Amino acid sequence: MKASQTIISTLRDAPNDAVIASHQLMMRAGLIRKLGNGLYSYMPIGLRAFRKVENIIRQELDNVGMLEMKPTVIQPGEIWKESGRWDKMGAEMLKPQNRGGQDMVVSPTAEEAFTALVRDSLTSYKQLPFTLYQINTKYRDEIRPRYGVMRGREFTMMDAYSFDRDQASLDESYEKAAVAYRAAFKRMGLSTISVKADTGAMGGSGSEEFMVESEVGDDTLILCPGCKYAANVEKASCKPDVALGADGKPQVATDKAVEEIPTPDVKTIEQLTEFLKTTPQAFIKTLIYRVENAGVDLGKEKKFVAVCIRGDLDVNEAKLCALLKASEVELAEEADVIRITDAPVGFAGPVKMTKASVICDNSVMTMHDAVTGGLKKDIHFIHVEPGRDFTPLMTADVRTVQPGDICPECGGTFYSKKGNELGHIFKLGDKYTKSMNVTYLDENGKLSTPIMGCYGIGVDRTLASIIEGHHDDNGICWPMSVAPYQIAVVPVKYDGVMKETADKLYDELTKLGLEVLLDDRNERPGVKFKDMDLLGIPLRIVVGEKNLPNVEMKLRTASDAELVPATDAAERAAAIVQKALAELNA
Amino acid sequence: MKASQTIISTLRDAPNDAVIASHQLMMRAGLIRKLGNGLYSYMPIGLRAFRKVENIIRQELDNVGMLEMKPTVIQPGEIWKESGRWDKMGAEMLKPQNRGGQDMVVSPTAEEAFTALVRDSLTSYKQLPFTLYQINTKYRDEIRPRYGVMRGREFTMMDAYSFDRDQASLDESYEKAAVAYRAAFKRMGLSTISVKADTGAMGGSGSEEFMVESEVGDDTLILCPGCKYAANVEKASCKPDVALGADGKPQVATDKAVEEIPTPDVKTIEQLTEFLKTTPQAFIKTLIYRVENAGVDLGKEKKFVAVCIRGDLDVNEAKLCALLKASEVELAEEADVIRITDAPVGFAGPVKMTKASVICDNSVMTMHDAVTGGLKKDIHFIHVEPGRDFTPLMTADVRTVQPGDICPECGGTFYSKKGNELGHIFKLGDKYTKSMNVTYLDENGKLSTPIMGCYGIGVDRTLASIIEGHHDDNGICWPMSVAPYQIAVVPVKYDGVMKETADKLYDELTKLGLEVLLDDRNERPGVKFKDMDLLGIPLRIVVGEKNLPNVEMKLRTASDAELVPATDAAERAAAIVQKALAELNA
């Protein structure tokens, strides 16, 4: 492609709303343009990179036997009512009515559509298993779309759905998806971290997120340097540790009975630690939580629980939510705390707590001779022995794991990173096939229900993440596999012998099957070099009169250029491109 | 691909709502499945054919230098308000509101989006000309979607928009699109008829529709066997003919004054012909039309005109509409006819017509001594001389051309066909660039407005039309270029030596780069043959024990099979595929 025949529309400055590198560079390089809030259009050069990402994903899914199809983007609302998600999806789902007043949906995901289509085609066990996928437009009405295509309202998602007879078969389908994901991300130069995700709210029996490290990541990852342990903080577990006394030794059981002590004006654990001359580990911290739609019986106070944890630790609400099979948990309002604890905020404790059930983090059960709130203003209990002085409804791991905690797998010391989710794989079970009544006849002629897995990769977000990981001060540094063009041929002036040499080189490179952008624009060389750097073309060949019969070859990521005879340049360039692709495919 | 690893879901019978061949066959072959009214999903094998159509279009557009990009499907309503089409598009456009209450549009076409994006990027004349295109999802809320993907609500459209400095440049961009269209349709085995379309309502200075002959076509085409003349009946013109008398000779002028004659109980031209013993050509037929939003001054009755035409001809409302620059014309209600003609329906005429202006078809102006309605019940005028006895506001071609009329280009005799529009190309001018304020600086630093062309191809409709033109009683007969698979390898039984031979053949063919479907299903041979015929795979290779070491090769469209040594089969098949592709590409 000659530069004069495509649209190169670079900007010196990124717009003000672009605060992360990928958004800034995609705007500055003219790869995308904004059409509305959270609505980005891919311009011709941007679309080339986008299609490469899309095709790499497609190829790797095809390689493991997944089948591409194409449902409609606009879907009948009735299938969303069948599955029960019509109401649950909330304002994120765009729900136009058609001219007949029928409810429609602009697809935010497609479990329902695939399930409905399979329902019409599936009759026999002989057809199973299969995994269907699409790479198609989705829309989610994010409240605050931001970061350009990283979190847009309209986006392109690869979403796949597997249909299996049983758990063993689902496990295989799931593993195939994981293999395809790993291959695809690797080919695109992305180093992903595979983490176990919190699957609580969505149900299902297993899931994995493919995260990429990012300073602007939405997720916090807990990682072990010693083994492959990696988990979203919402689900991470650490090795249980024994509660220590002020002397640094394990706490020792006491025979003394619980005793009230006055603690005037002492509200925080910090104040209490000072007041009692001990460490936070001596305290049982108790938090009153409001619980929405709990899936387990919470006793008298159906909507509230008292959650106890060792004083130096924090409760992880995602884990608590999963434990209680709830749709949401949040700290109780002050009025509810006062009602439930008969005291102002700051004096809750499990001893003599009668109004709400007590949930204990595992950390509490190794504590002895502990301190806790006295359910009265300015009163604490001391000499508290868990088990003896109170009995929890449940004891479980609801602790927020932190850097410095110990890996349960290998004993390594955890560290933490911010990450963005690029893809996920998820065992759905029969959630949709049951609610939408999908059946098949098994070998014995018996009606059975298949089980599903679902799998997703955000195409736009993957593209943006590649840029996040591959750029410098001058612009994008595309990995060869996803570069919009592999080679830029830049004549210092597109005229005379430089034009001849550049044209010849362009023809030779194109004939070798390479993707070349010839900068034939009538611009100063500096402008052209800057634009090619900003666009991130991996290999640049400069044709300047003073160097002829040599030309200058430079990798985007190299600091120095190399002089090469113009007659050898095409073959040399081809070799460089092939080597780079081979390394990504290896 | 092995049949067991994809989804073959054929039906013995098409659903009741499928009344045309392509819809029936696409359903029966399992290429598409219905998700809702006018909402069809492509299943894996169907998508393969769909993608081939899409890619052929893409390649041919790229070949003429068009640039693909990807705006969003969901668009801000505000750009539609800027262009003025927010109200005009009516109920066909799906208009959801987002969570902030902002008006959004599910794109039914994309003039506004491309214009808005170009507005942000275009600064200098140096960037022009260019043509941008997308192949993307569209939605139009058709009142009665029908014929499967031929007229669905959601569909995929290639839509392109050219931006040029002047008319000469636009003419070139337009011609390039035409070249790409012709190449693409030819490669897909479609024989298209290129017709001049009615461009009245849309404005603009030129347009062409690419039609394909179809018994279920929405359009009527007027064609000349002698030359390349082809036009939509809405715009077709014929050679003017001289009005003939009852003796078959040109009508002769009369000196007699207009005279009233009583014509009791005579209302139709047929009755009048009999009553006066003459031919329909003797009568000036006069129709009162109601005109919406006329762009020309119609005189006193702003909304009504009297349209005169020779008694044997019909008024073409599309031509009338274009002539009057109106948004719509329709025959007036009875009450309006009575008011305007002072008589019941059936006695309108141009003589002494004072209430509405008279529009004459050219055919009237060669009439002499004519008969027309007398503006009174049971009265006609005779001896009417156009020009002498009445003066039309306008005289123009508003006649509906019919088979048998004479070609204005070559004198051939027109015939007629039904057709479906697959694509169109259209010179838009500055309609959008002006209303949406797109400018650039010309060589002299002066702000100028670019002019646009727009171009569209319906991808789904093209696919369906290929099937309409390529099928027989047993199923689809794909042209090689768009077949989901080029070759079907069918072992009579997938077992023993037949399995070995089929597997070997499959490997050889796949290595040769061919697209092969190996029917490894445990079905009776008859079932497999029927399915492969229904699916329309162009070349079938049957591996049966009794024929070994030969295999049976048969083109889908041939009546007889040929025995070929299994060892030669792959090379023979490759040659057949290459030849078929070469013929389509020629």
Q: Are A76 and B145 in contact (CB under 8 A)?
A: no
Given 3-state DSSP classes, what are the helix, strand and coil percentages for chain B, each rounded to the nearest 5? 30, 30, 40
Q: Which of A9, A44, A72 sits opposite B35 (nearest CB)?
A: A72
A-contacting residues in B 134-153 (Cβ below 8 Å): 136-137, 139, 141, 143, 153
Residues of B in contact with A39 (CB under 8 A): 72, 74-76
Give the pLDDT of residue A201: 38
Residues of B in contact with A121 (CB under 8 A): 7, 9, 30, 33, 43
Calculate Rg over the CA atoms of chain B: 30
CB contact under 8 A, B47 and A35: no
Give the pLDDT of residue A214: 87
Q: Are A175 and A67 in contact (CB under 8 A)?
A: no
Q: Are A160 and A133 in contact (CB under 8 A)?
A: yes
Q: Which of A68, A136, A154 sits opposite B72 (nearest CB)?
A: A154
Residue A69 touches chain B, beta carbons under 8 Å = yes
Instruction: List, in sequence order, every residue forming a beta bridge with A194; answer none if it has no partner.
Output: A210
Q: How many CB atoms lie within 10 A of CB A411?
A: 11
Predicted TM-score (pTM) of this structure: 0.88
- Mutation target among A45, A70, A144 for the B interface, most CBs of B within 10 A: A70
A108: nearest Cα among A74, A134, A84, A79: A74
B-contacting residues in A 9-48 (Cβ below 8 Å): 9, 30, 33, 35-37, 39-44, 46-47
Give the pLDDT of residue A230: 87
Q: Which of A9, A50, A76 sits opposite B121 (nearest CB)?
A: A9
Q: What is the mean pLDDT of chain A?
A: 93
Q: How many CB atoms lie within 10 A of CB A184?
A: 26
Fold of B50-236+417-467: BirA Bifunctional Protein; domain 2 (3.30.930)
Q: What is the ipTM for the molecules in this complex?
A: 0.87
Residue B206 structure tokens: 């030129």
A-contacting residues in B 92-111 (Cβ below 8 Å): 92, 94-96, 98-99, 104, 106
Give the pLDDT of residue A205: 54
Give, to the nearest 10 degrees, the angle between helix A459-469 and helix A21-28: 100
Residue A357 structure tokens: 């059930």
Q: What angle do CA B273, B274, B276 make, to 5 degrees?
A: 65
Give the pLDDT of residue A87: 86
Edge-to-edge strand order for the sheet containing A394-396? A328-331, A284-292, A304-310, A357-361, A394-396
Q: What angle do CA B404, B405, B407 make, to 5 degrees?
A: 120
Residue B68 touches chain A, beta carbons under 8 Å = yes
Q: Is the fold of A259-396 the same as that of A485-585?
A: no
Residue A251's alpha-carbon distances to A243, A369, B83, B584, in angstroms, are 6, 7, 76, 85
Give the pLDDT of residue A266: 82
CB contact under 8 A, A43 and B117: yes
Structure-derived torsion over alpha carbons of residues B320, B324, B330, B336, reported in degrees to the nearest 10: -120
Residue A67 touches chain B, beta carbons under 8 Å = yes
Band of pLDDT at residue A196, cut at 50, 70 and 90:
confident
Give, to the nearest 10 degrees, the angle between helix B167-187 and helix B44-63: 140
Roughly how many angstroms between the first and final C-alpha of chain A, as a whole number? 29
B-contacting residues in A 419-478 (Cβ below 8 Å): none
Domain spanning A50-236+417-466, CATH architecture: 2-Layer Sandwich (3.30)
**CA-to-CA distance for B76 and B54, rounded, in angstroms?**
27
Residue A312's alpha-carbon distances to A275, A389, A400, A407, A433, in angstroms, are 16, 21, 11, 18, 45
Q: Are A470 and A476 in contact (CB under 8 A)?
A: yes
Q: A86-90, A419-423, A563-567, B581-585: which has the minimum mean pLDDT?
A: A86-90
CB contact under 8 A, B117 and A41: yes
**CA-to-CA distance for A105 and B36, rounded, in angstroms?**
12
Determine the residue of chain B that is closest to A140 in CA distance: B98
Residue B300 structure tokens: 């006193």
B-contacting residues in A 503-562 (Cβ below 8 Å): 522
Residue A157 touches chain B, beta carbons under 8 Å = no
**Over residues A526-542, mean pLDDT:** 98
**CA-to-CA distance for B251 and B242, rounded, in angstroms?**
8
Q: Give CATH superfamily name and number for B485-585.
A: Anticodon-binding domain (3.40.50.800)
Q: Which of A41, A116, A139 sits opposite B71 (nearest CB)?
A: A41
Give the pLDDT of residue A488: 98
pLDDT tens-place values along chain B, 586 residues long: 999 999 999 999 999 999 999 999 999 999 999 999 999 999 999 999 999 999 999 999 999 999 999 999 999 999 999 999 998 888 889 999 999 999 999 999 999 999 999 998 899 999 999 999 999 999 999 988 999 999 999 999 999 999 999 999 999 999 999 999 999 999 999 999 888 765 433 444 588 899 999 888 888 999 999 888 888 888 888 999 999 998 899 999 999 999 999 998 887 888 888 888 889 999 999 999 999 888 899 987 889 999 999 999 999 999 999 899 988 899 999 999 999 999 999 999 999 999 999 999 999 999 999 999 999 999 999 999 999 999 999 999 999 999 999 998 899 999 999 999 999 999 999 999 999 999 999 999 999 999 999 999 999 999 999 999 999 999 999 999 999 999 999 999 999 999 999 999 999 999 999 999 999 999 999 999 999 999 999 999 999 999 999 999 999 999 999 999 999 999 999 999 999 999 999 8
* Size of the A and B interface in Cβ pairs below 8 Å: 154
Q: How many CB atoms lie within 10 A of CB A403?
A: 12
Residue B83 touches chain A, beta carbons under 8 Å = no
Residue A384 in this model has a pLDDT that exceeds 50: yes
CB contact under 8 A, B35 and A71: yes
- Mutation target among B35, B463, B515 for the A interface, most CBs of A within 10 A: B35
CB contact under 8 A, B116 and A6: no
Edge-to-edge strand order for the sheet containing A487-491? A516-518, A487-491, A539-543, A550-555, A562-565
Residue A558 in this model has a pLDDT that exceeds 70: yes
Residue A536 structure tokens: 């991130």
- Beta-carbon contacts of B467 under 8 Å, excluding residues fewer than 6 positions away, are B21, B22, B25, B26, B476, B536
Q: How many CB atoms lie within 10 A of CB A568?
A: 12
**CA-to-CA distance for A263 and A271, rounded, in angstroms?**
10
CB contact under 8 A, A39 and B75: yes
Residues of B in contact with A153 (CB under 8 A): 74, 98
DSSP track, B22-45: HHHHHHHTTSEEEEETTEEEEPHH
Residue A127 touches chain B, beta carbons under 8 Å = yes
Measured in degrees and rounded to the nearest 5, phi and psi for residue B578 equal: -60, -40
Locate the domains of chain B by residue range.
50-236+417-467, 259-396, 485-585
DSSP track, A324-382: TT-SEEEEPPHHHHHHHHSS-TT---STT--SSEEEEEGGGGG--SEEEE-SSTTEEEE
Give the pLDDT of residue A228: 80
CB contact under 8 A, B47 and A41: no
Q: Which of B33, B92, B116 sits opposite A117 (nearest CB)?
A: B33
Residue A467 structure tokens: 């840029």
B312: nearest Cα among B353, B391, B370, B256: B370
Q: Are B168 and B185 in contact (CB under 8 A)?
A: no
Band of pLDDT at residue A24, cut at 50, 70 and 90:
very high
Encode burial over B483-516: b for 16+ CB neighbours within 10 A, e otherwise. bbbbbbbbbbbbeeebeebbbbbbebbeeeebbb
CB contact under 8 A, A35 and B141: no
Rounded to a whole number of angstroms, the distance from the CA of B58 to the nearest CA of chain A is: 13
Measured in degrees and rounded to the nearest 5, phi and psi for residue A106 equal: -85, 110
- Beta-carbon contacts of A321 under 8 Å, excluding residues fewer than 6 positions away, are A200, A201, A327, A328, A329
CB contact under 8 A, A72 and B36: yes
Choose which CATH entry (3.40.640.10, 3.90.960.10, 3.40.50.150, 3.40.50.720) describes domain A259-396: 3.90.960.10
**CA-to-CA distance for A224 and A238, rounded, in angstroms?**
10
- Enumerate the H helices of B204-315 as residue ranges: 269-276
Band of pLDDT at residue A235, cut at 50, 70 and 90:
confident
Beta-strand relationship, A39-42 and A32-36: antiparallel
CB contact under 8 A, A141 and B98: yes
Calculate Rg over the CA atoms of chain A: 30
**CA-to-CA distance for A448 and A445, rounded, in angstroms?**
9
